[in-house]
Structure 1
Amino acid sequence: MQEYQRKQLLERVDREGATVGAEIPERIAVQGEEIDLHEFVFEIKRRETYPASERERVDRAKKNLRRERLQRRQRIEEGDISFEEGERLARSIVGLDRALNALENLQPTDLEGEAMAQETADKKRWMSFLKQALGHEDTSSGRLGGAGRGR
């Protein structure tokens, strides 16, 4: 491959917005393991939320995809490869980037954690209301209880 061709390919994979219109590869070898990347990404994206147990799986996949992207980019940058091989690698890198973008934009939600946090906040608000209604000490203003006393 000519040096100008190598630079063109590298510029293409590093370009902002390179993934616009790109497709996620159906199957891809990542770190020596064949995975159904398209199916995995859309399985995860179909869900409105995903639990903490799935978050670990997604984080591991993103880490492996980033590592694979870096290795493929280095093959273009440093390898003695043909232009056709470089084109193939560039297309696969853009596909990896597309998958990474999709996985990065997920909104992880721990439904149990959110429910517990909501319940705790509700209890705090209720206790605050009861203290105020019963005239117990209000520590925020420094006044003592007895609503309406002395006024």
Structure 2
Amino acid sequence: MHDYERKQLLERIEREGATVGTEIPETIEIDGEPLSLHAFVFETRQRDSIPPAHRERVEDVKTTLRRERGARKERLESADLSRETGEGLAESIVGIDRALNALNDLGSADLEQERAAAETADQKRWVRFLKQALGQDDTDDRRAQGGVEP
């Protein structure tokens, strides 16, 4: 592969929007072990919420994918490759990026849920404050009568 071809491939993998229209690879081999990447990403994204045990697995996969991306990029930068091998390597890097983007988007859904829960809690505290300020809080009446708080 010529230097200008290598440079074009490196620019391609770093280009913003490079993952648009790119498919997540069905499987990817990492450290000699196949990973059914497409199925993993699809199944993970189908869940309404991600349990803590699966979240750990997702984080492990993301870490592994980042490491593999770096190794493949380094190989693309420095190894003696044919044009076809270089193109395949660049395509696999963009596929990894696509999978990482899909897995990273999972966090934003959880953040949205956390934001909504925090907003609801803030509204409840505000209503409770207003009731107390206006003398409409019935918990004060229960305390005065020796009752139990809810």
Query: Please, what TM-score do these two structures have when normalized by structure 1?
Result: 0.74
Higher helix proportion (structure 1 or 2): 2
Runs of 4+ in 1 over 3 A off after TM superposition: 120-136
Q: CA deviation at 1:121?
A: 7.4
Tell me the distance in 2 between the aligned counterparts of 1:3 and 1:32.
29
Provide the residue aligned with 1:8 in structure 2.
8
How many residue pairs get aligned? The number is 133
Tell me the distance in 2 between the aligned counterparts of 1:17 and 1:7.
18
Provide the residue aligned with 2:60 in structure 1.
60
Supply the RMSD in Å over aligned alpha carbons.
2.9
Query: Please, what TM-score do these two structures have when normalized by structure 2?
Result: 0.74
Q: Compared with structure 1, are the counterparts of its residues 13 and 123 closer, same or farther at alpha carbon in structure 2 (3 Å cutoff)?
A: closer
Q: Compared with structure 1, are the counterparts of its residues 5 and 117 closer, same or farther at alpha carbon in structure 2 (3 Å cutoff)?
A: closer
Q: Compared with structure 1, are the counterparts of its residues 38 and 134 closer, same or farther at alpha carbon in structure 2 (3 Å cutoff)?
A: closer
Is 1:41 the counterpart of 2:44? The answer is: no
The answer to whether the Cα contact below 8 Å between 1:22 and 1:98 also exists between their aligned partners in 2 is yes
Is 1:133 the counterpart of 2:139? The answer is: no
- Rg larger in structure: 1
Q: Aligned AA for 2:43?
A: E
Unmatched 5+ residue regions in structure 2?
Answer: 141-150
Tell me the distance in 2 between the aligned counterparts of 1:26 and 1:108.
26
The answer to whether the Cα contact below 8 Å between 1:72 and 1:89 also exists between their aligned partners in 2 is yes
Q: Determine what percentage of the aligned residue pairs are the same residue.
A: 49
Q: How does 1:65-80 map to 2 (within 5 A)?
A: 65-80=65-80
Unmatched 5+ residue regions in structure 1?
Answer: 137-151
Q: Compared with structure 1, are the counterparts of its residues 30 and 2 closer, same or farther at alpha carbon in structure 2 (3 Å cutoff)?
A: same
